[in-house]
A and B are shown apart, each in its own frame.
Chain A
């Protein structure tokens, strides 16, 4: 079975390519890329008018299975990723049970295979049960398929434990992903601390809650020499710390989410629980600092922090609503609309953050690039497609999006994983 993608504008940051090319796929690999390929037996996808990018990789996703299948399952999460233009996702370990054992990893990988859509890469917990005390059995977890370690929403508060984790993973060049939050400073907080938390009477999460941990983790990474990835940075102060760390050539990488680039805390005035995220939506000066870092290349990755929750769980008082919003099916359109349409960044830069860099950071060898021999994971984008976000059309089980009804220009058109079309917004 051969698949021929014709006349697409191929953009591959890894090889600095940006031109109209044909791509030939055989089985699950890319076999040829040329100006004109003609294979009579191949099935043809006409990609004229489309951008062909290496498959997008979302390295920060909560799939909820096992344990909270009412929010999302591996199958619905895979379908959401496919519709959102993602070919690979890395899932966070805060499931029930926690991903701190090879059994849970095997379960996830086998369910992912059954779902048969996107590639799923489990991220294992740094500590057993994400309790911040004893390290999980990291070597075995890597052998079972874990691509990184994180305690995500339950950040490791004990600095000694964090230091050990970094020193320990260094021996196999493992990756620690840190959700930077000092929980003493963020205690009971539900939104950004500032004029709006004051006006709304809600407990604030100060920027310092993130920044002191960014500083700590950078220092510990430096001392240990291990790789650390800073998840969903949200403040100007964090960007300043990251700037300094990168200037010292430390092995620090960082991500931002689309919602932190687009929404600020003034949008919370109606106590909409679909705007309750952690880290919280910050203020306008934080946003402009994040955008600047995205433009300058300081930020390595854009990830969604896709955090599905059921309608009932969000239909409560703001204080007790869970943190998190649905991200997979809105991210690409938001990014195209808000970063590309107004020429904030180039397409090449966007693709670098959504595919090239996450593949490198997670060490996914044959992904994040378009070249002969690479996995045939491709994201095809329609830059001119006008959409209106409708949560009722989500393939995700949950609808907790603050972007419902938003009109956006640009959308994922076709998602190809391992040479198979798993999503298309048109007949092909």
Chain B
């Protein structure tokens, strides 16, 4: 089986077969969350730190539940309640946490490369839960898991990702992953939020959502940060909505069985119309549900026991 990573820092460092291993493992583990006793003992005695330097409900809880369902002990640290506010450096914070014999550190940080940085001096397994505009690997994995669940495959699907691409770690991780598994990815957004060099990630670039949606199997809408308007990345929310919001009318140009995704949190009626967000084509809540299984898979593969000589 192909999985020999110490850390999960990004999709970029994973091979296609490692990605498939994670997805397959997640599929096996999904059943646990449906049991009455939602717990297996595999990570009993492992200590995991959930270190979130940015606010997050979904991702933090998802990791926490994933760890608990595998019987690991998990501790949440938040920026507001830690020594960070007293001016401690990230390196010192990590070294202090590690001194308590942690097995893994899950980190969400506003600065790109922070998980890589701490992996250079840290002996725990590091899991990137989102670093700046760099990567959000578990989001891309759960998105792929959800696509596979609905479409039975990923290769050769046409997948449109639309919104604020420039500042989106979700977009980057998804492009990298979906390309590794053979999909066609089209990025859409206002030109200042979608510089041409994004094509170097392997995606196509289009500035017209109507055109891009044609024949799409999957449409993934990204949250538009309302404050981007102040920075003149686009003229107004009104115009943004007119050009880049996914509406029923636009969605009709996609394939008949196309699905709609969104990493959340949603701005209803900004990047996606509220009826579409709640429609049967929307898999937004399945994404959240699948997040737990995918994160369980990641934790198991990084921290779980090694294969034994089969005890006949």
B224, chain A: closest CB distance, angstroms: 18
Q: With A and B bound together, what is the CA distance between A319 and B116 in angstroms?
A: 13
Instruction: Tell me the residues in window 177-227 of chain A with beta carbons closer than 8 Å to chain B beta carbons.
Output: 193-195, 198-203
With a 10 A CB-CB cut-off, give which of B112, B116, B201 has the most chain A CB atoms.
Answer: B112
Chain-B contact segment, one of A36-44, A153-161, A298-306, A310-318: A310-318
Q: Which of A194, A200, A312, A316 makes the CB contact (< 8 A) with B134?
A: A200
Q: A318-B111, A318-B117 are in contact. Are A202 and B132 (CB under 8 A)?
A: yes
Q: With A and B bound together, what is the CA distance between A194 and B117 in angstroms?
A: 22
Instruction: Tell me the residues in window 258-299 of chain B with beta carbons closer than 8 Å to chain A beta carbons.
Output: none
Q: With A and B bound together, what is the CA distance between A200 and B113 in angstroms?
A: 7
Report chain B residues within 8 Å CB of A194. 197
Inter-chain contact B112/A318, CB cutoff 8 Å: yes
Inter-chain contact B200/A317, CB cutoff 8 Å: no
Report chain A residues within 8 Å CB of B131. 201
Inter-chain contact A201/B200, CB cutoff 8 Å: no
With a 10 A CB-CB cut-off, give which of A199, A202, A316 has the most chain B CB atoms.
Answer: A199
Q: With A and B bound together, what is the CA distance between A295 and B117 in angstroms?
A: 38
A259, chain B: closest CB distance, angstroms: 20
Report chain B residues within 8 Å CB of A271. 112-113, 116-117
Interface residues contributed by chain B, number (CB under 8 Å): 24
Q: Which of A200, A202, A312, A317 makes the CB contact (< 8 A) with B109?
A: A317
Inter-chain contact B197/A201, CB cutoff 8 Å: no
A419, chain B: closest CB distance, angstroms: 47
Q: Which of B89, B113, B169 makes the CB contact (< 8 A) with A318?
A: B113
Instruction: Tell me the residues in window 316-372 of chain A with beta carbons closer than 8 Å to chain B beta carbons.
Output: 316-320
Q: A195-B200, A317-B90 are in contact. Are A201 and B116 (CB under 8 A)?
A: no
A171 interface residue per 8 A CB criterion: no
With a 10 A CB-CB cut-off, give which of B109, B113, B195 has the most chain A CB atoms.
Answer: B113
Annotate A26-45 by CB proximity to B: 1 below 8 A, 0 otherwise: 00000000000000000000
Inter-chain contact A315/B91, CB cutoff 8 Å: yes
Inter-chain contact B111/A200, CB cutoff 8 Å: no
A270 interface residue per 8 A CB criterion: yes
Annotate A245-286 by CB proximity to B: 1 below 8 A, 0 otherwise: 000000000000000000000000011000000000000000
B198 interface residue per 8 A CB criterion: yes
With a 10 A CB-CB cut-off, give which of A201, A270, A320 has the most chain B CB atoms.
Answer: A201
Question: Which single residue of chain B is at the shortest CB-CB distance from A194?
Answer: B197
B135 interface residue per 8 A CB criterion: yes
B106, chain A: closest CB distance, angstroms: 17
Inter-chain contact A201/B91, CB cutoff 8 Å: no
Q: A195-B200, A317-B90, A318-B111 are in contact. Are A201 and B117 (CB under 8 A)?
A: no
Inter-chain contact A201/B90, CB cutoff 8 Å: no
Instruction: Tell me the residues in window 61-106 of chain B with beta carbons closer than 8 Å to chain A beta carbons.
Output: 89-91
Q: Which of A195, A270, A316, A319 makes the CB contact (< 8 A) with B112?
A: A319
Instruction: Tell me the residues in window 130-146 of chain B with beta carbons closer than 8 Å to chain A beta carbons.
Output: 131-135
B41, chain A: closest CB distance, angstroms: 37
B172 interface residue per 8 A CB criterion: yes
Q: With A and B bound together, what is the CA distance between A384 and B198 in angstroms?
A: 45
Question: Which single residue of chain B is at the shortest CB-CB distance from A316?
Answer: B89
The A-B contact count (CB < 8 A) is: 61
Q: A271-B117, A316-B91 are in contact. Are A202 and B112 (CB under 8 A)?
A: yes
Question: Which single residue of chain A is at the shortest CB-CB distance from B165?
Answer: A198
Inter-chain contact A270/B116, CB cutoff 8 Å: yes
B174 interface residue per 8 A CB criterion: no
Report chain B residues within 8 Å CB of A198. 172, 195, 197-198, 200-201
A286, chain B: closest CB distance, angstroms: 15
Inter-chain contact A202/B113, CB cutoff 8 Å: yes
Q: With A and B bound together, what is the CA distance between A315 and B120 in angstroms?
A: 11
Inter-chain contact B201/A201, CB cutoff 8 Å: no
Report chain B residues within 8 Å CB of A201. 112-113, 131-135, 169, 172
Q: With A and B bound together, what is the CA distance between A319 and B112 in angstroms?
A: 7
Report chain B residues within 8 Å CB of A270. 116
Q: With A and B bound together, what is the CA distance between A201 and B169 in angstroms?
A: 7
Q: With A and B bound together, what is the CA distance between A199 and B202 in angstroms?
A: 11
Instruction: Tell me the residues in window 2-36 of chain A with beta carbons closer than 8 Å to chain B beta carbons.
Output: none
B59 interface residue per 8 A CB criterion: no
B124 interface residue per 8 A CB criterion: no
Q: With A and B bound together, what is the CA distance between A270 and B113 in angstroms?
A: 8
Inter-chain contact A317/B201, CB cutoff 8 Å: no
Inter-chain contact B197/A317, CB cutoff 8 Å: no
Report chain B residues within 8 Å CB of A200. 112-113, 134
Inter-chain contact B169/A317, CB cutoff 8 Å: no
A137, chain B: closest CB distance, angstroms: 37
Instruction: Tell me the residues in window 116-131 of chain B with beta carbons closer than 8 Å to chain A beta carbons.
Output: 116-117, 131
Inter-chain contact B111/A199, CB cutoff 8 Å: no
Inter-chain contact B134/A320, CB cutoff 8 Å: no
Report chain A residues within 8 Å CB of B113. 200-202, 271, 317-319
Q: Which of A195, A202, A318 makes the CB contact (< 8 A) with B197?
A: A195
Inter-chain contact A316/B90, CB cutoff 8 Å: yes
Report chain A residues within 8 Å CB of B109. 317
B245 interface residue per 8 A CB criterion: no
B114 interface residue per 8 A CB criterion: yes
A81, chain B: closest CB distance, angstroms: 31
Instruction: Tell me the residues in window 190-241 of chain B with beta carbons closer than 8 Å to chain A beta carbons.
Output: 195, 197-198, 200-201
Report chain A residues within 8 Å CB of B112. 200-202, 271, 318-319
Question: Which single residue of chain B is at the shortest CB-CB distance from A187?
Answer: B231
Annotate B160-179 by CB proximity to A: 1 below 8 A, 0 otherwise: 00000000010010000000
Report chain B residues within 8 Å CB of A203. 133
Inter-chain contact B111/A317, CB cutoff 8 Å: yes
Inter-chain contact A317/B117, CB cutoff 8 Å: yes
Can you name 25 A-B pairs with beta carbons within 8 Å? A193-B197, A194-B197, A198-B198, A199-B12, A199-B201, A200-B113, A200-B134, A201-B113, A201-B131, A201-B133, A201-B135, A202-B133, A270-B116, A271-B116, A315-B91, A316-B89, A316-B117, A317-B113, A317-B117, A318-B111, A318-B113, A318-B117, A319-B110, A319-B132, A320-B111
Binding site for A on B (CB under 8 A): 12, 89-91, 109-114, 116-117, 131-135, 169, 172, 195, 197-198, 200-201
Contacts A193-B197, A202-B133 supplied; 8 other A-B pairs, CB < 8 Å: A199-B12, A200-B112, A200-B134, A201-B131, A201-B132, A271-B112, A316-B91, A318-B111
- In the complex, the 7 A-B pairs of residues with the closest C-beta atoms, listed nearest first: A201-B134, A271-B113, A201-B112, A195-B200, A201-B133, A317-B111, A319-B111
